[in-house]
Structures are given as C-alpha cells and as structure tokens.
Chains A and B, each alone.
Chain A
C-alpha cells in the first residue's frame, strides 16, 4: 500500500537525520577531562568558574562527576587528565602509589549536620559532631548515609569512630544509600532524616529541601564549632606515564589557573549573591602566601 510505504520511508528519513545530527560537525576543540565528586559538582561552583578557563585557553573541560572512589579509580586507569576530590588520606595514597604527580590544595569548606526542623535527637544542643551522631543513634532517629566511600562518607565514618560507635549495617533507622549528595539530601528531605552534608551542596539545593535545616555546624563555615567538620579539596594531575592520551601540560595549566589569585577570588565570592554566604574558602598555596598575616 502506497501510504504504508510513504510512512516507512518518512520514518527512515527521520532516523537518518537523527544519526547525522548525532555526528559532530567539525573537529572538536582540545578537551580536558576532569573527574570530580558529585558533591563538588552539585554545589554549582564548577559551572560558575570553568567558563573563564575554557574561554581563556580555548579548551573544553569535560567534567565527570562520580563518587570519590570512582573519581580516583578513573585517575588510576588514566581515563582522565586531572582529579578534583576532597579525601586527604585517599589522595595521599593515590599520589604515593604513583597515580598522580602531586596534591595541589585549592579550597576548603565544611560539613554540616542537617535534619528535620523539629530535631527529635536534639542535635542542635550537641557539643560537637560526633556527639550529635551519638544522639541520633541513641534516639534511633532516621539517618541517611552516602554509603559510597565518598569523601563525605569517609568523614561520616570518622565521626562515628570518634563517638566510639559503628553505624549499623542493617537497622531500621540507618539508610545506606550508595548515592551522591544531591540524591542523599533528597532522600533525607523525603524521609525527614538526618544526614551529614557538605554545606555547599546543601545551600545550592536548599530550595528543593523545604523540610531540612542545618542543625549543627553554624550558619557559616566561620561559625562552625567543630574543626572535625573542615573539608579540604585538592587537584591532582594524573601521571602521564599511564597512557599517551593524558594531557599533562594541559592539566598543569588547569592547576595553575585554579590556584591563581583571580580564580581563587572568584571561588571566594561564589554563593554570596545566591545564598548570602560564600560556599568555598580559597586555600591554594599562592593564596595562603598572599594572605599571610592578614
């Protein structure tokens, strides 16, 4: 039947157009592959500052946001050029094993404990983060854990250890999600549970989390009473000896740009307009030297 034939050829044409559209036109610009963590990505900082690097050097930065474990694994396998994570112990092991050239500190922020407004575990009154977790365990209030070996998860486990507790593997109140910060916060909001979050991601997503509030950690990193909640970020260029597609020179250019004063200043103001406070504190070696004694 002619109409069936026409419909079929129309469909074929549609498919071929899709295929053509999927093929890139022209040669791609130089691409820098950056592996970072989901919490860093969810805070929105990279979307805010990367365009400056891309415009300045004519490079496209491909950001792969995964858990800390996978980000470092991507570096280990040589699938990316540079890694941006916040897990000092794992980073040191990474560099020592020869997977990365060196750790370049770039910024820090802090973790906070968020939870339901009515605070059944009385976290607001806790003297420190570990005590807050102990109170949550004691009252068996719902707690959502990243459960994914991420930087945040590692810190959570360290805090449990500080309180001399082991988080239960299978109890009704402890939820080990194995997902990123955004998903974990969403879960906590839905279940009215407590969770440990990096302040940056929480503030960036706060408008979607109407039932959660910061219960421990103060209203800004400067007000955070517990130094155990400090969260340090580093850049690690991947060892170019792994394979020929690793762009060591481009990675170093990226590190230099990230640690430079102008970029550090941009990092310092990120969040001021949208959230009324900065989400990250510049911490590169250059910045520290410039601001020594200030």
Chain B
C-alpha cells in the first residue's frame, strides 16, 4: 500500500532530521504520560496492596469502585476533569485547564484504578501459606504487607504496564482538557487526530508509527525491569 510506505518513510525522515515540531510533541507526550504513570503508581500500588491485604469496613465497596474505575471511559474522565477545572468549576482557580497539568490530572485519574486494582489482585494471589510463614517469623503487619508486595512484583509490574498502555495512547481525555494547542498541549495522539482531520493521512500514519514505537519502547523497558528483578 502506497500510503503505508509513504508514512513509514515520512516517520523515519522526521525522526532522523530531529524535526523540532515532532520532538516537541514527543517530549510532551512522554512528560504527560510519564508523570501520570509515576503519580498513579506511587499512589495506586500501595493503595492497591492495602486494599488486597488489609481488612476494613467498606473494603468490598472500594474494590467495586476501583474495578469500575478500570473500565472508566477516557472521555468521561476527561469530561469530569474538564468540569472541575473550568473557570466556573470548583477547581477553576488553579488555572490548569488547557495546560499539561490538566492532561496529567486526567491521565492519572485513568491510570490510578488500573494500578490499584491489578496490584490488589496480584497481592491476593500470593499463597496464604507464605503469608503465614512471614507472620510466624515475627513480622509486623506492615513488614508483612511489604514482603507480600515484593513477592507479587511480577503482578505489580503487569499493573504498571497496563496503566502505561492505557494512557500512552489515550486521546479523548487529553483532547478535552488539553485543547490540542500547538506547542503547548499537543501530544502524539491529538496530533494524529489533527492531521487526519486535515487530510494529511501519511503524516498522521507517521505519527502513529512514532506512537507505536514509544509504546513498544515503554513496554520493552518495563519487561526488562521485570526480567532483571527475577531473583
């Protein structure tokens, strides 16, 4: 197919030339999704571990909430964050709307349930026998939870991978809260929408290849970390 060939050539050309517009978009994509991933995991993994291991009233309901959050449609998350950050909204004073901060916020909202929910499942998979062993060796509650989390690190890595996958290619929420402003809030996914709308299909495909490449790279790095952590 002619257009695929054109797109591949264009993508390679743009990257080799270090095309400044493209680099700016790639850098913003990494910044936004990277920040959201870090925030979501820093908050989500410990939260998920607690959810999976601790017993407290309302735990069932929290699990349901987190489960629902995992399937939350990105545009709905975007809409809610938009309404919160709009000038007339409760958080309008932050002046975050149509800035990368809003995009990071929306993507964190999307990634958090995945990080928490899958971590929760992962720690619950750890055999009960192991937990008993740890307890019998005199570990405190928190030491026990930390050890179980470490034991479940493959599952936790899968949670991080899933969260990364969800947000690196996300377009609905970042388009709504970011506005796709050139040089300010344009990321790879929203740039693809723009170029497609303008009929520049080869360029749109080229951007798609770059996005795929980033996703592949991210996954490769995370999997490498997983392989390295195997003791």
Contacts and interface: CB of A to CB of B under 8 A. Distances in A.
B12 interface: no
A170 B25 CA distance: 13
A70 interface: yes
A72 B197 CA distance: 10
B194 A148 contact: yes
A177 B181 contact: yes
B179 A187 contact: yes
Contacts of A69: 197-200
A240 to B, nearest CB: 20
Interface string A162-204: 0000000110000111110001000100110000000000000
A101 interface: no
A56 to B, nearest CB: 32
A148 B194 CA distance: 7
Contacts of B184: 175
Contacts of A175: 98, 179, 181-182, 184
A228 interface: no
A70 B196 contact: yes
B86 interface: yes
A67 B201 CA distance: 13
A74 B197 CA distance: 10
A120 interface: no
User: Most chain-B Cβ atoms within 10 A of its Cβ — which of A67, A70, A72, A177?
Assistant: A177
A66 B183 CA distance: 23
Interface in B159-191: 179-184, 186, 190-191
A95 to B, nearest CB: 17
A177 B199 contact: no
Given A187-B98, A190-B87, A190-B98, A177 B179 contact: yes
Nearest to B194: A178
Nearest to A178: B194
A206 interface: no
B223 to A, nearest CB: 32
Mostly helix, strand, loop or mixed at chain B's interface? loop
Counting chain B residues whose Cβ lies within 8 A of the other chain, the interface size class is 20 to 34
A72 B199 contact: yes
Contacts of B191: 178
A148 B181 contact: no
Given A176-B181, A178-B182, A191 B98 contact: yes
Nearest to B200: A69
Interface string A222-235: 00000000000000
Contacts of B179: 175, 177, 179, 183, 187
B97 interface: yes
B199 A73 contact: yes
Contacts of B194: 148, 178-179
Interface string A73-91: 1101000000000000000
A76 B200 CA distance: 12
Contacts of B190: 178
Given A169-B182, A178-B182, A148 B198 contact: yes
B219 to A, nearest CB: 29
Contacts of A76: 199
A178 B179 CA distance: 9
A66 B197 contact: yes
A183 B87 CA distance: 16
Contacts of A73: 198-199, 201
A191 to B, nearest CB: 7
A260 interface: no
Given A178-B186, A190-B86, A190-B97, A70 B199 contact: yes
A36 to B, nearest CB: 13
A149 interface: yes
A147 interface: yes
Interface in A91-145: none
Given A70-B197, A177-B179, A190-B86, 13 more contacts: A69-B198, A169-B183, A170-B182, A175-B98, A175-B182, A176-B182, A177-B180, A178-B182, A178-B190, A178-B193, A179-B180, A187-B98, A190-B87
24 contacts: A66-B197, A67-B199, A70-B199, A74-B199, A147-B182, A148-B197, A149-B198, A169-B182, A170-B183, A175-B181, A176-B181, A176-B182, A177-B182, A178-B180, A178-B182, A178-B191, A178-B197, A178-B198, A179-B179, A179-B194, A187-B98, A190-B87, A190-B98, A191-B98
List of 3 A-B pairs having minimum Cβ-Cβ separation, nearest first: A73-B199, A178-B194, A69-B198
Interface of A: 66-67, 69-70, 72-74, 76, 147-149, 169-170, 175-179, 183, 187, 190-191
